[in-house]
Amino acid sequence: MFRKASEPVILSAAGAKDLLFQILPSRTCRALAQIARVDQRLAEFETRLTKRLLNFWIAQAATTVALVFVVVKLVRG
């Protein structure tokens, strides 16, 4: 009926989370939740920053191509 002490305990992800929140005091749980929120906000910031950098790189490439065309046109006469 009981498992041996040497046998590992296998929990599902939800079971492990529930066990963790039962063991940890509420203050620690609040700190973990706050860290999770900060992690989420950083991920959102990274996404926005990547989009802005991509737009910047596209604009830079378009400007460079336009300048090359102008220079080639001026050189050819």
pLDDT in tens, 25-45: 777 778 888 999 999 999 999
Asked whether residue 45 is domain-assigned, the answer is yes
Asked whether residue 5 is domain-assigned, the answer is no
State which residues form the domain around 51.
Answer: 13-76
Confidence of residue 17 (pLDDT cuts 50, 70, 90): confident
Q: What is the DSSP string of 2-70?
A: PPPTTSPP---HHHHHHHHHHHS-HHHHHHHHHHHHHHHHHHHHHHHHHHHHHHHHHHHHHHHHHHHHH
Predicted pLDDT at 9: 64
How many structural domains is the chain composed of?
1
Asked whether residue 7 is domain-assigned, the answer is no
Asked whether residue 39 is domain-assigned, the answer is yes
Measured CA to CA, the distance from residue 53 to residue 43 in angstroms comes to: 15
